[in-house]
A and B are shown apart, each in its own frame.
Chain A
């Protein structure tokens, strides 16, 4: 076979169109699967309802201002639980692409390789922001508004979006490595345990033993405390800057993992 190849070499400029096309696909898939977005709203709200009933008095115990409640306390946890769900869904979508061979279609195209990740990750971040806005509205309706105002909301949404990309990146990496969507269920459990092993639902001061030590030093605690700062309008153990720093670091790790896994899938590499 001796036929000259045609077409330009593809790079980042062409990648914009590819990112747009793959983002469109991700949006279509989410919109057509209620299971891809509905639990991301319902699970945090149900968790909040349960925990608020059980631990409603915790706010008074840890010296919140009179205007704040446990609902305020648990708000960042609800947003991050929703972010975990979105991240897992994004990873599951990538795993399904491996299982049904769609990833081969993507790898066979002469696309800018990171576009395969950028599209779904960008949509995951936007989905998390949209989902968080709905959750914030619901919380506000029940009296848990953001004391930090608009800038506080921006910090919370930015941290949530970055955390979502971190989880989605790690989940995509796992999906590309294993090609097994059942692994996502395991990852979902692990991530929720990490959420519990932090200050997300209870103050570490009310914990004991190794659980307390783990929660105190967990980066998730730094993230949650920093997000909680603008919610409550009072300075906690960690501020918004630390939260964003942790979120950016997690995001970077997630993206590197996903890129590494993609490079592994793309064994022949783009010459």
Chain B
């Protein structure tokens, strides 16, 4: 770690994004008191992670990367064990366990041993265990790594609900750009043990580039279209004969462009809006692409707006 400086607002979802080996887990282990910082200081829930480690542990919940679940126990046994470890009385523990198992859609599998659970179910159980003592701050270390897209969506929904309905502060690490983009109100991009960018995803993306609008027009309309597009920003090259323009006023200018082309008598065949991504932010900050274990999301986020316009 070198010069990590972060502040997370209460009740927000904060993401620490970076490739494998960036140092994300080390940060989490320090903030959750599992690893002593080699220097500097950190406070979680207003408490010093070294001098008030025990109080920090009472205030936080953590679902760590290892999916630290006992494969020989059942989900219900594990959640009751976790409740006992946090000193919850029997009745309270049972009530909360039942509620969490229901909320995280685990009630149907809770009587089975963890070793037969799917990856997504294990992650949801891990989340339930982290929530049993109703922590005010929740640490999620790569909560969806290695699980299928449907389970990933389900966990995203749970994380959003936790933040919106219970007001929990959520600190998550991820190597998935899409996850950070969709979940986090603010994020920091980490690489090689340092924070290279920090801010709201939309702001970070806007700092890197403007959206590119790609327009394919009918034969004979190309020159006229290029003249109109030039009014909205700098011309850019497009694939397969498409005209490109970097929209100086951002994505909302698309409507104005379409209107101007229409008024200019240009026959539009295809419109595509190419938005800057966190991948672009990472590349801009580090000078290289971010490689993840599984890259399910496209390199760029694009939207086909119009296929045929007659």
Contacts and interface: CB of A to CB of B under 8 A. Distances in A.
Interface string A1-40: 1111111111000100110111011001100110000000
Contacts of A5: 45, 47, 52, 55-56, 58-59
B275 interface: no
Given A5-B59, A267-B36, A21 B81 contact: yes
A271 B50 contact: yes
B124 interface: no
Contact of A14 (B36, B65, B87): B87
Nearest to B47: A5
B87 A1 contact: no
- Main SS of the interface on chain B? loop
A270 B55 CA distance: 9
B99 interface: no
B82 A105 contact: yes
Contact of B84 (A17, A32, A105): A17
Contact of A21 (B47, B52, B68, B85): B85
Contacts of A14: 87
Contacts of B54: 9-10, 110, 270-271
A269 interface: yes
Contacts, number: 128
Contacts of B43: 1
B267 interface: no
Interface residues of B, number: 50
Contact of B35 (A6, A110, A268): A268
Interface string B49-78: 111111111111010111111111100010
Interface stretch (A96-104, A134-142, A166-174, A237-245): A96-104
Contacts of A20: 84
A268 B33 contact: yes
Interface stretch (B129-137, B156-164, B198-206, B216-224): B129-137
Given A3-B59, A108-B62, A28 B36 contact: no
B44 interface: yes
Contacts of A17: 84, 87
A100 B68 contact: yes
A109 B68 CA distance: 13
Pick from A4, A29, A267, A268 the residue with the most CB of B within 10 Å: A268
B239 interface: no
A271 B85 contact: no
A108 B36 CA distance: 13
A21 B87 CA distance: 10
B87 A101 contact: no
Interface string B3-44: 000001110000000000000000000001111100000011
B212 interface: no
Q: Which 5 A-B pairs have the closest CB atoms?
A: A101-B66, A101-B68, A21-B84, A109-B85, A3-B136
30 contacts: A1-B8, A1-B46, A1-B137, A3-B46, A3-B136, A4-B46, A5-B45, A5-B55, A5-B59, A9-B54, A17-B84, A18-B85, A22-B81, A24-B81, A25-B70, A25-B81, A28-B73, A100-B71, A101-B65, A101-B66, A102-B68, A105-B64, A108-B60, A109-B85, A109-B86, A110-B58, A267-B34, A268-B35, A269-B53, A271-B51
Given A14-B87, A101-B65, 16 more contacts: A1-B9, A5-B45, A6-B136, A7-B133, A17-B84, A17-B87, A22-B81, A100-B69, A101-B68, A104-B34, A104-B64, A104-B68, A105-B129, A110-B58, A110-B87, A271-B54
